[in-house]
Amino acid sequence: MAGPLKIAVIGHTNTGKTSLMRTLTRNASFGDVSSSPATTRHVETASLMADGEAIVALYDTPGLEDSSGLLLHLEHIRNERRRDWTDAIHHFADEKAAQGSFSQEATAISQLLRADAALYVVDARDPLRAKHRDELEILSRSAKPVLPVLNFVADPENCAEHWRGELARVNMHAAAAFDTVVYDASSEIALFEKVKLLAEPHRAKLDRLIKSLKARRESLGAASADIIARLLLDVSALSRTAPIDASPERTKAEEAIKDEVRACEQQCVRQLLAQFRFREGDYLPPELALGHDGWNDDLFDGDVLARLGISVSKAAATGAAAGATVDLFFGFMSLGAATATGALIGATVDAYRKYGRRLRERLQGRALLHLDHTMIAALGIRQIQLVACLLSRGHGAVGPLSPVIPNDPGTSSDEPNTLFQSVFKAVKAHIPEGPMRERDDKRQPLARALKMVIAQDF
């Protein structure tokens, strides 16, 4: 079927039609949203794309405000012109310039008649009232397939079941529950699955759209994990030298790292918001609690020593092998001196690369400050929880983002504890203790581990 499926988004005023458009198009700037009636005065359109092709053209229409009056008006037209309902509605739409106080309704109905189908948006927090029944009656007489969309179903006081029951009474047995503020990917898929029932010729295209939505969702998770992995590796590389004991200089060094951590986090947040197509001002991360226990400057940390031992033995083996080659070349006349020298050089170079700076600083009475795994994991949790929030935030939402972000790891509830364990494990597995020079090869494995955490927990 050529051309996109044309869907009119219609409904009573202030039920979230424009918010629905925003959420479906992932565009938080689409149209105007306010709590006042008649915010949308024109028909505005947007196309949902898959692989660069427009699949669905959505038309945002002005809200129906006086459906009871409109029904009476249509009745009047019908009686006056002795026409059937459908003709009366067409006549009403065609003569929209002459509709006076119903011009807004005429604009919406006119667009409905030009569309292939309609989404009838209802605010599920409000009970079904007589005016809604009047709207449904008008829509049912327009001879267009209509799918009711129950908005704001995430509100605990929603009347979705009441609506479903009432809709069934007017023969509308299929209704989609889709909250434009609290986004749910499966609800969006379910919405388009139901649209497929209304638009059989566009079935294949809608399947492509659904596939594209799933792929995009998957891609968002992976991209977010990549961004977080970069942040964690960046902050793990931050270090400052400072006196071992508390002093103004040490405090200054700590503050300097904190500032850098904040800057890194801000950048990460900006990227995450952009990735999800939200505005920068939608979220400001609260202060990260970096206390005195967030630093690792212990020269003889057991974990470091254990890792160092493994690393040094590998380097020694490599050096020994290289030296043995030289020994062989000389027929072992050197009595294995090259092998021993190679092992020594390998071990020394490796140990110095990983440990030398700290040892040097310690000999000078100073410590090398850097973030420990716990703090890095805590930082990771903040971002993961932000991602969780973004994953469940519709672009129709207008309030600021407020994810529940623990400042201290594993303190508030069981969930952060479990989450902390997962993130900590990933951090420990992929980020070596101490500042690293080269981090690029760690990023992908860490991103994969974080992606799994995001997928499992959210």
Partner 1 sequence: MAVSQPNDSGPSGFRVRLMCEALRRFEEARAQLLDDPPVAGNKPLSLVYPEHPFVPSRSTETEALLIGRYARLPEALSALRTVQLFDRGLLIAILVIAGLSAMAGVGAVRAVLPAGAGATINMYWLLGSLLGLNAIALLFWVFTAVLSSARGPRISLGNFAVEAVRFFGRKRLKQPLSQAAAATVIAENSRRPMIKPLIAVASHAGWSAFLVAALFALIISFSTRSYQFAWETTLLNESVFVDVTTALGKAPAMLGIDTPDREMIRGAKLNPQISRADSPQDAALWARFLLALIFIYGLVPRLVLFGISLAVFLSRRRRYRLQTDRATYARVLDKICPPATVALVTDADEPEDVSDANAPFPARQRLPFDSELSILAYEMVTPPEPWPPRVEGIEWRDLGAVDGQADFERVAKALKARLPDSGVLVVVAPLPLVPDRGVRARLRDLRECAQGIVLLLTQGQKARNRLGSEDFAIRLSDWQKLAADPMIAAERVIEWDLNYQTDHAARQFLEDLRTEGSESETSAPSPLSDQPESTTRPKGTNRNEREHFQERAVAESLAAFQSGVLGWSPSLSEAEVRTTIAEVGRPFLSGDEPSFSGAFSKLSSLISRQDRSLDVTAVKDAVTGLHTLMPPSFQTGGKWAAAGGIAGLAACMGAGVVFPPAIAAMPLWGAVGAGGGLLAQLALPGSPSSEPKMKTEANDDSGSVETPYSDLVAAIGMEIALLSFQGLGEAEISRRLDRLFDPLFEIETREDFPRWFQIYRTNLWQSLMASDDGDARPADVQGENPDQQRQGEI
Q: Which of residues 342-371 bind partner 1 (CB under 8 A)?
A: 346
Residue 331's Cβ-count burial label (10 Å; 0-12, 13-18, 19+) is: exposed
Tell me, by CB under 8 A, how many residues bind partner 1: 99
- Residue whose token pair is 């986004």: 183
Binding flags for partner 1, 399-438, as an x/- string (CB under 8 A): xx-x-xx-xx--x--------------------------x
Give yes or no for residue 30 binding partner 1 (CB under 8 A). Answer: yes
Q: Compute the half-sphere exposure of residue 219: CA atoms within 13 Å on the CB side of its CA.
A: 8
**Torsion angle, alpha carbons of 191, 195, 197, 201, to 10:** -150
Tell which positions 436-455 bind partner 1, by CB under 8 A. Answer: 438, 440-441, 444
**Nearer residue to partner 1 within complex by CB, 38 or 200:** 38
DSSP-H helix ranges across 141-279 = 160-169, 185-198, 203-236, 248-275
Residue 223's Cβ-count burial label (10 Å; 0-12, 13-18, 19+) is: middle
Binding flags for partner 1, 168-207, as an x/- string (CB under 8 A): ----------------------------------------
Q: Report the nearest approach of partner 1 to the CB of residue 339 (Å).
A: 12
Calpha distance 162→237 (Å, rounded): 56
Q: How far is CA 350 from CA 22, 311, 363, 367, 431, in A?
A: 55, 7, 19, 20, 17
DSSP designation for 201: G
Q: Which among 183-191, 237-245, 319-327, 364-372 is the span making contact with partner 1, rule CB under 8 A?
A: 319-327
Concatenated DSSP letters of 373-425: HHHHHHHHHHHHHHHHHHHTB-TT--SPP-----SSTT-S-HHHHHHHHHHHH
Give yes or no for residue 45 binding partner 1 (CB under 8 A). Answer: yes
User: Which one among 224, 296, 374, 422 touches partner 1, defined by CB under 8 A?
Assistant: 224
Q: How far is CA 45 from CA 48, 49, 191, in A?
A: 10, 13, 19
**Nearer residue to partner 1 within complex by CB, 43 or 351:** 43
Tell which positions 95-114 bind partner 1, by CB under 8 A. Answer: 96-97, 100-101, 103-104, 107, 110-111
Give yes or no for residue 69 binding partner 1 (CB under 8 A). Answer: yes
Binding flags for partner 1, 155-174, as an x/- string (CB under 8 A): x-x-----------------
Tell which positions 257-316 bind partner 1, by CB under 8 A. Answer: 267, 270-271, 274-275, 277, 286-287, 289, 291-292, 311, 314-315
Q: Which among 47-55, 81-89, 143-151, 301-309 is the span making contact with partner 1, rule CB under 8 A?
A: 47-55
